[in-house]
Structure formats: C-alpha cells, structure tokens
C-alpha cells in the first residue's frame, strides 16, 4: 500500500531521457529518423504532428530563450512514414526506402529504383534491417527565414520543438504521447546571405 507523502514524490512514472537539441545551419534541409518505442506499426492511421515555434530571441543572446516570440512563426514540419509494401517477393520491383517483411524481419531498401533481385533480403546488403515504428521528421531549408531575429556569426537563434503522436480510435481510450521535445538551434550561414551563383 502506498503511504508516501503527496508532497514528497520519489517515483517518476513518466520519465524520459531529457529534451533534445536539433542544430542546423540556416538554409539546411535535413530529415531525421525517430523511433517510437511505444508503437509497433506507425503505418496504421496514427495522427502525427511535429512543430517548431519561434522563441523570443534577442540580439547577442548568451543563452537560449525561455519564452516564445509573441505572434512569432509557427512551423508545422512534414513527417515521412515508412512505405510498407508487404511480404518480400523475388520477382517484385522495389524503390529506395521501400519496406518489406521477410522471415519475420522488416527490411528497408537502402538504394536503387526498380530494384529486382532473387537474393533474399537477409543475404543482400542492399536491404537493411528496419522497423515499422520509425518516422522521419523533415526540417525545411526555409525554417527560421521569417523569424524576428536572424542568427549572427557567434549567436544562434532558437525555436521550441515538439512531436505529438495520437493513436487511432479504439474502444477503450485514445492515447496521445509527446515523446520528443526540445530546442531547434539555427546557426549563421555565409551562403544564406550570399546571392546564389548566376546561370
């Protein structure tokens, strides 16, 4: 029986490993995988949302801000899901990032388009082991382009990041998780302020 004092908690039942820091040079466009350990198959109709909200940056700031910019930019990021094509078939054609199931293991095609091979995925280095609970968060090159303060040579600017996952409808209780939260750091880029080369 629980007899601990309410004001003296000793167990954190919802602990995690801490907040993340995504760091980009302004103008970079990158994609990052995130494994959702609490989901087995993200190809089901889960509702996913990843956002970056502009922080209240100031010129020559020495520390990341702790508040949001009033009426600041709010960016919804695209999320790419694995493309599960079913059981592997030696005569089928596959494209890069296609996911197949072979002998109870999921494999992802690492390169190629229209790839056909009779070599089983476990013996073919073109296939790599994967899972159906990995999503890919896409950070666009335009991120932070409309923020009130631009990054300077020695002073990055920041936004607040969060990922939300809501499970499909069920008959008991629809759960929502927010498994990844933290800061997005945008660093100064000389090529971002230089006109692109001519034709």
Residue 11: per-residue pLDDT: 64
183 vs 171: CA distance, rounded Å: 36
User: What b/e string do you get for 12-35 counting C-beta neighbours within 10 Å, with b at 16 or more?
Assistant: eeeeeeeeeebebbbbeeeeeebe
Co-location of 125 and 144 in the same domain: no
Residue 164: per-residue pLDDT: 97
What CATH number corresponds to the domain at position 138?
2.60.40.10
Task: Give the length of the chain.
Answer: 199
Domain count, the chain: 2
Co-location of 67 and 93 in the same domain: no
pLDDT in tens, 90-133: 999 999 999 999 999 999 999 999 999 999 999 999 999 999 99
What is the span of the domain harbouring residue 127? 83-131
Co-location of 32 and 59 in the same domain: yes
What CATH number corresponds to the domain at position 108?
2.10.10.20
**pTM > 0.85:** yes
* pLDDT reading at 136 higher than 80: yes
**DSSP codes of every residue in 54-93:** EB---TT-SS--SSBPTT--EEEEEEEPPEEEEE--TT--
């Amino acid at each position: 029986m629980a007899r601990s004092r309410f004001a003296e908690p000793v167990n954190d039942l919802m602990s995690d490993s801490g907040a993340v820091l995504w760091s980009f040079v302004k103008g970079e466009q990158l994609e990052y995988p995130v494994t959702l350990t609490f989901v087995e198959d993200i190809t089901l109709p889960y509702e996913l949302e990843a956002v970056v909200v502009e922080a209240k940056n100031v010129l020559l700031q020495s520390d990341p801000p702790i508040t949001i910019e009033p009426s600041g930019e709010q960016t919804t990021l695209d999320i790419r899901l694995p493309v599960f094509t079913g059981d592997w078939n030696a005569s089928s054609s596959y494209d890069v990032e296609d996911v197949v199931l072979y002998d109870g293991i999921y494999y992802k095609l690492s390169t190629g388009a229209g790839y056909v091979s009779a070599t089983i995925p476990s013996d073919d280095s073109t296939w790599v082991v994967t899972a159906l609970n990995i999503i890919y968060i896409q950070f666009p090159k335009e991120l932070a382009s409309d923020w009130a303060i631009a990054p300077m040579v020695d002073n990055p600017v920041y936004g607040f990041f969060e990922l939300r996952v809501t499970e499909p409808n069920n008959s008991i209780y629809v759960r929502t998780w927010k498994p990844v939260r933290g800061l997005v750091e945008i660093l100064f880029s000389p090529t971002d302020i230089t006109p692109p080369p001519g034709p």
